[in-house]
Amino acid sequence: MIILASQSPRRKEILQEILDDVPFMCIPSSFDERKVHEDDVRKLCLEEARGKGLVVAKDHPEDIVISSDTMVSFKGEQLGKPKDHDDALRMLRELSGETHEIVTAYSIFQGEKELRHRVVVAKLYIEKMADAEIEMYLDTGSPYDKAGAYGVQDKDFIYSKILQGDMYTIMGLPKYELEDDLVDLGIIE
Cα(71)–Cα(28) distance, integer angstroms: 18
CB 168 within 8 A of CB 174: yes
Cα(81)–Cα(167) distance, integer angstroms: 18
Cα(41)–Cα(80) distance, integer angstroms: 11
39 catalytic residue (yes or no): no
With a CB cutoff of 8 Å and minimum separation 6, the contacts of 121 are: 42, 101, 102, 103, 104, 164, 165, 169
CB 25 within 8 A of CB 7: no
Active-site position among 69, 84, 154, 181:
69
**Hey, what amino acid is at 120?**
V
Q: How far is CA 32 from the centre of its chain?
A: 16
Residues marked active site are found at 69
